[in-house]
């Protein structure tokens, strides 16, 4: 069992499902094996992060540890699932540090939320950036209050902080100053500008260097902003929707540059 399958695990119906209006995650088509980490960016919305791909990138599933817990839990212990797992792992020297739901972040871009509980080995720390062990419950139902699959025992595959990695970020991958436009407070006397970008970026117009582009998109990065999409929105004067692809769109910035913006994730650079 992998995270792609777990994101479509049937968790049944629940009385909290609010009339099933939006359907259930497990009723959706299987997650494609070649799905990108950031795979969809629609108008007026942040880009979507695939929960299946994200979890697969940051965690390794430990099926043997789960089997050990299931055997231990079957020995007549009348504990709820959280208490059972905490007790089982406590016997093995693990201390729970935090439990939360990605839904509670309010600004996450995951296409499915999940509950995570972090444990560290041999530590009494109240909080750590990266656990030694995590137990995951993926939401595959309808209403966020119910319909969770799991538990999934897993270990981090790298030093990742789940709480800060659930937002897409945005990068200016190409850019230019148009032929006549108010640029950073000054009218640039170039040739007449028609108001729409020509694609691909044409010769004869002032192309922006990679260093310049880095300066433009710095605040659109997940490590620099608590809400990258909100920062991007504030910087954009006009969205050229006819240029939009699954993960890119061209925009005119309030400072005068035209740039092609790529939606991505910080893991793309790991």
Give the model confidence (pLDDT) of 81-116 as tens digits: 999 999 999 999 999 988 999 988 777 899 999 999
Q: Look at residues 164, 181, 198 and tell me which one is the last residue of a structural domain.
A: 164
Q: Which residue, 164, 192, 218, sits at the end of a domain? A: 164
Say if residue 131 is in the same domain as residue 246: no
Q: How many domains does the chain have?
A: 2
Short-list 36, 30, 47, CA closest to 262: 47
Examine the domain organization and report whether 205 and 159 are in the same domain.
no
Is residue 187 scored above 50 in pLDDT? no
| Of 27-31, 163-167, 171-175, minimum mean pLDDT range | 163-167
Using pLDDT thresholds of 50, 70 and 90, give the confidence band for residue 191. Answer: very low
Same domain, 31 and 119: yes
Q: What is each CA distance from 173 to 65, 168, 210, 269, in whole angstroms?
A: 44, 15, 8, 14
**Banded model confidence at residue 13, pLDDT cuts 50, 70, 90:** low
Q: How many residues are present in the chain? A: 270
Assign 117 a pLDDT band (cuts: 50, 70, 90): very high
Do 134 and 244 belong together in one domain? no
Mean confidence (pLDDT) of the chain? 82
What is residue 255's predicted lDDT score, i.e. its pLDDT?
Answer: 85
Q: Are residues 136 and 38 in the same domain?
A: yes
74 and 151 in a single domain? The answer is yes
pLDDT at 183: 46
Asked if residue 200 has pLDDT above 70, the reply is: no
Interval 119-131 mean pLDDT: 72
Q: Which is more confident, 92 or 129? A: 92
Q: Distance between CA atoms of 105 and 167, rounded to whole angstroms? A: 10
Predicted local confidence at residue 105, as pLDDT: 79
Structural domain ending residue among the three candidates 123, 140, 164: 164
Short-list 217, 223, 113, 103, CA closest to 161: 223
pTM value surpassing 0.85: no
CA dihedral for 194, 212, 216, 46, sign (positive or negative) = positive
Q: Given pLDDT bands bounded at 50, 70 and 90, which one contains residue 206?
A: low
Distance CA 92, CA 133 (A): 12
Query: Both 213 and 83 in a single domain?
Result: no
pLDDT more than 70, % of the chain = 78
Q: Within this chain, do residues 154 and 212 fall inside the same structural domain, yes or no?
A: no
Same-domain pairing of 56 and 160: yes
Are residue 53 and residue 108 in the same domain, yes or no?
yes
Give the range of the structural domain holding residue 219, as residue numbers without chain letter.
Answer: 169-269
Residues 143 and 14 grouped into a single domain: yes
Which pLDDT score, from 0 to 100, does residue 207 have?
Answer: 75
61/16 same-domain check = yes
């Amino acid at each position: 069992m992998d995270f792609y399958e777990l994101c479509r695990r049937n968790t049944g119906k629940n009385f909290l499902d609010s009339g099933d209006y939006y359907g259930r995650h497990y009723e959706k088509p299987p997650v494609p094996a070649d799905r990108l980490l950031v795979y969809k960016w629609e108008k007026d919305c942040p880009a979507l992060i695939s929960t299946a791909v994200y979890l697969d990138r940051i965690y390794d599933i430990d099926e043997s540890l789960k089997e050990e817990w299931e055997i231990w839990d079957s020995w007549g212990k009348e504990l709820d699932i959280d208490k059972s797992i905490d007790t089982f792992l406590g016997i093995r020297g693990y201390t729970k540090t935090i439990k939360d739901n990605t839904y509670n972040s309010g600004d996450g871009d995951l296409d499915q939320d999940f509950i995570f509980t972090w444990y560290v080995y041999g530590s009494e720390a109240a909080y750590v950036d990266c656990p030694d062990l995590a137990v995951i419950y993926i939401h595959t139902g309808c209403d966020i209050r119910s319909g969770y699959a799991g538990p999934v025992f897993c270990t981090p595959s790298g030093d990742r902080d789940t709480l800060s990695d659930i937002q897409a970020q945005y990068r200016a991958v190409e850019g230019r100053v148009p032929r006549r436009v108010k640029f950073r407070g000054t009218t640039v006397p170039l040739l007449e500008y028609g108001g729409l970008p020509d694609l691909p970026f044409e010769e004869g117009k002032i192309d922006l260097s990679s260093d310049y582009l880095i300066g433009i998109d710095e605040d659109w990065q997940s490590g620099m902003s608590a809400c990258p999409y909100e920062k991007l929105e504030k910087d954009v004067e006009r969205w050229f929707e006819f240029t939009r692809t699954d993960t890119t769109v061209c925009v005119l910035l309030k400072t005068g540059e035209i740039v092609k913006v790529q939606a991505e994730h910080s893991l793309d650079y790991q």
